[in-house]
Amino acid sequence: MKKQFLVIGLGRFGSSITKTLIQNGHEVLAVDKNEQNVQDMASIATHALQADCTDEGVLRELGVSNFTHGIVAIGDDLQASILTTVLLKELNVPKVTAKARNEMHGKVLSKVGADHVVYPERDMGIRLGNQLSSDTLIDYIELSPDYNLAEILAPPAMNGKSLKELHIRAKYGCTIMAIKKGHHINVSPKADDAIHTGDILLIIGSNEDIRQLENDYE
Ligand code: ADP
């Protein structure tokens, strides 16, 4: 379903969100107080306009309450980021996502009503740190602070072995949910299905168990 997004702050983060939302078929009103940033988004967003979003009158004129989701992507100017978040909530934007520079900024954004606070630099640092620490981890989705769905390159020590022989669930408490072989993906692997070098395994489990499995097969 098509959604209406309001993206405020068109730096690297806000413009990248705008592009992705548009690619996914949604409508985006992209706003920034800097004219150049607005021009850069003019041919991409549904509408792009220059405005200072810390001004309540401006936000009312934009009809912000008609949007299902507001994204406050103002990074460096803490005061503007906090004030804009407060105003969007006061003007009844149902869902507000705000970008935080650090934990303290994030705490304030939550306190003033942000429904969702994101920490792009911190989270990307953690993600990259985890990927670089491992020879096999390709990507992962955090299901909770303790559980992940991880995409792992099958280690050579698993080559030719079936799921039954590997005993992954019994040994590590993790489940191999799918095995990708090139373009083919086996989404309900059977006990006799074998793993080969170059396969990609989708594993669900606790962070600790997945790490243990990776270490044992290193
Ligand atoms: P990034 O790290 O994503 O590049 P920046 O902090 O550099 O983030 O960019 C934030 C953007 O938010 C800038 O383009 C800036 O002009 C814009 N911005 C800052 N304050 C306001 C405001 N009050 N109203 C609208 N846009 C704002």
**Domain residue ranges of the chain, discontinuous segments joined by +:** 4-119, 134-216
| pLDDT one-digit tens code per residue, 143-179 | 998 999 999 999 999 999 999 999 999 999 999 999 9
- C-alpha span between 142 and 206 (Å, rounded): 10
ipTM: 0.94
Residue 167 in contact with residue 135, Cβ under 8 Å? no
What fold is seen in the domain 134-216? Alpha-Beta Plaits (3.30.70)
Ligand 1 centroid distance, CA of 52 (Å) = 10
Pocket test for ligand 1, best of 33, 53, 85, 97 (most atoms within 8 A of CB): 33
| pLDDT one-digit tens code per residue, 107-154 | 999 999 999 999 999 999 998 998 888 888 999 998 998 999 999 999
Cβ(71) to ligand 1 under 6 A? no
Architecture of the 4-119 domain: 3-Layer(aba) Sandwich (3.40)
Question: What global pTM score does this model have?
Answer: 0.82
Query: What's the CA dihedral at 113, 54, 4, 75 to 10 degrees?
Result: -80
What pLDDT sits at residue 110? Answer: 98
- C-alpha span between 218 and 216 (Å, rounded): 6
Ligand 1 centroid distance, CA of 212 (Å) = 42
Centre a 10 Å sphere on the Cβ of residue 36 and count the other Cβ atoms it contains: 9
